[in-house]
């Protein structure tokens, strides 16, 4: 009857989401309740933000600590029911193994000469230099994406036009890009091992693109239409030249045809006069 498959994720060092399934022998109307406690709380706290979806229980509660602390206390979790027929579930969680950063926001792209600059906002809930980032990008003609790892914070300002100017944001650059290709970028954050033991990554940011992909359809249509236009133009030109030749050099009449017509007309006149 005890809850099973307990899983918890600490989102952006702000709130924790725990999910579980009901026990095999638990009744369908079982109302599980989650309590949590850690060193520093006087009393255990009850999680009140419940939801159930397709038999999966979920509860969300706020959980944050000051940034200045170097270690986090273990979280004790109790899942039980008001009925004595339900066996309680007790678990201890190391919060550093449950950290999942928030998705990077405000991703912007800019192009300077043959370099693309990618800039995004950093989370303000993590201590400095406790996150690294992965930037995935690909061009319009390739299915295989490339991933670069950004392990340090950029705090530089640029005075040149169109370059990143927001201090405190993270950015990196991709050099030697093809100016005639369209590139698609997305970013995600990961905790640094020296700060947290978590292997969880943030969700990928929304894809952003820059550049224009060369349209192969345009060239295909161009290859077909240009020879067709040339062929039609040649036919029109030949017809025009033939008519022009007739006007400039009219055909010389055949003397035999002239004599035929002359004698033919005389024969007709003689026959008329006899009648």
Domain boundaries, the chain: 4-100, 105-210, 216-262
Share of the chain above pLDDT 70, in %: 75
Judge whether residue 159 has pLDDT over 80.
no
Q: Provide the token pair at 164.
A: 């990143």
Q: How confident is the model at residue 258 (pLDDT cuts 50, 70, 90)?
A: low
Averaged pLDDT for residues 62-76: 83
Q: How far apart are CA 71 and CA 93, in angstroms?
A: 13
Share of the chain above pLDDT 90, in %: 31
- The topology (CATH level 3) of 4-100 is Immunoglobulin-like (2.60.40)
**Most confident of the ranges 44-48, 154-158, 180-184:** 44-48
The overall longest dimension of the chain from CA atoms, in Å, is 147
Q: How far apart are CA 260 and CA 19, in angstroms?
A: 112
- Residue 94: its pLDDT value, please? 94
- Residue 219: its pLDDT value, please? 57
**Taking a C-beta distance cutoff of 8 angstroms, is the pair 144, 210 a contact?**
no
Name every residue whose Cβ is closer than 8 Å to that of residue 93 and which is 6 or more positions away in sequence. 8, 74, 75, 76, 77
Q: How far apart are CA 44 and CA 37, in angstroms?
A: 5
Q: How many residues does the chain have?
A: 275
Position with higher pLDDT, 111 vs 18? 18
Least confident of 26-40, 55-69, 114-128, 133-147: 133-147
- The topology (CATH level 3) of 105-210 is Immunoglobulin-like (2.60.40)
- Residue 14: its pLDDT value, please? 93
Name every residue whose Cβ is closer than 8 Å to that of residue 183 and which is 6 or more positions away in sequence. 116, 137, 138, 139, 140, 174, 177, 209, 210, 211
Judge whether residue 68 has pLDDT over 80.
no
Fold: same for 4-100 and 105-210 = yes
Q: How confident is the model at residue 19 (pLDDT cuts 50, 70, 90)?
A: very high
> What is the pTM assigned to this prediction?
0.69
Averaged pLDDT for residues 79-88: 84
- Residue 11: its pLDDT value, please? 95
Mean pLDDT of the chain: 80
**Taking a C-beta distance cutoff of 8 angstroms, is the pair 226, 213 a contact?**
no
Position with higher pLDDT, 215 vs 263? 263
């Amino acid at each position: 009857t005890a809850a099973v498959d307990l899983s918890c994720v600490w989102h952006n060092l702000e709130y924790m989401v725990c999910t579980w399934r009901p026990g095999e022998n638990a009744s369908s109307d079982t109302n599980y309740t989650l309590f949590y406690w850690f060193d520093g709380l006087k009393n255990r706290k009850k999680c009140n933000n419940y939801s159930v979806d397709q038999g999966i229980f979920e509860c969300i509660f706020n959980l944050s600590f000051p940034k200045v602390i170097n270690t986090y206390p273990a979280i004790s979790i109790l899942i039980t029911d008001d009925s004595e027929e339900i066996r309680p579930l007790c678990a201890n969680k190391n919060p550093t193994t449950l950290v999942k950063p928030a998705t990077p926001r405000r991703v912007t792209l800019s192009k300077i000469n043959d370099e693309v600059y990618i800039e995004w906002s950093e989370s303000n809930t993590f201590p400095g230099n406790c996150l690294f980032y992965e930037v995935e990008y690909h061009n319009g003609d390739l299915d295989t994406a490339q991933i670069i790892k950004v392990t340090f914070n950029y705090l530089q300002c640029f005075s040149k036009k169109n370059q990143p100017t927001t201090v405190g944001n993270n950015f990196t650059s991709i050099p030697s890009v093809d100016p005639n290709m369209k590139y698609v970028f997305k970013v995600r954050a990961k905790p640094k091992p020296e700060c947290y033991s978590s292997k969880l990554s943030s969700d990928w940011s929304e894809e952003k693109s820059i550049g224009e992909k060369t349209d192969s359809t345009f060239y295909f249509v161009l290859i077909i239409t240009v020879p067709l236009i040339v062929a039609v133009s040649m036919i029109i030109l030949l017809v025009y030249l033939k008519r022009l030749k007739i006007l400039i050099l009219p055909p010389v009449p055949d003397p035999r045809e002239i004599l035929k017509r002359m004698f033919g007309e005389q024969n007709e006149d003689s026959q008329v006069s006899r009648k």
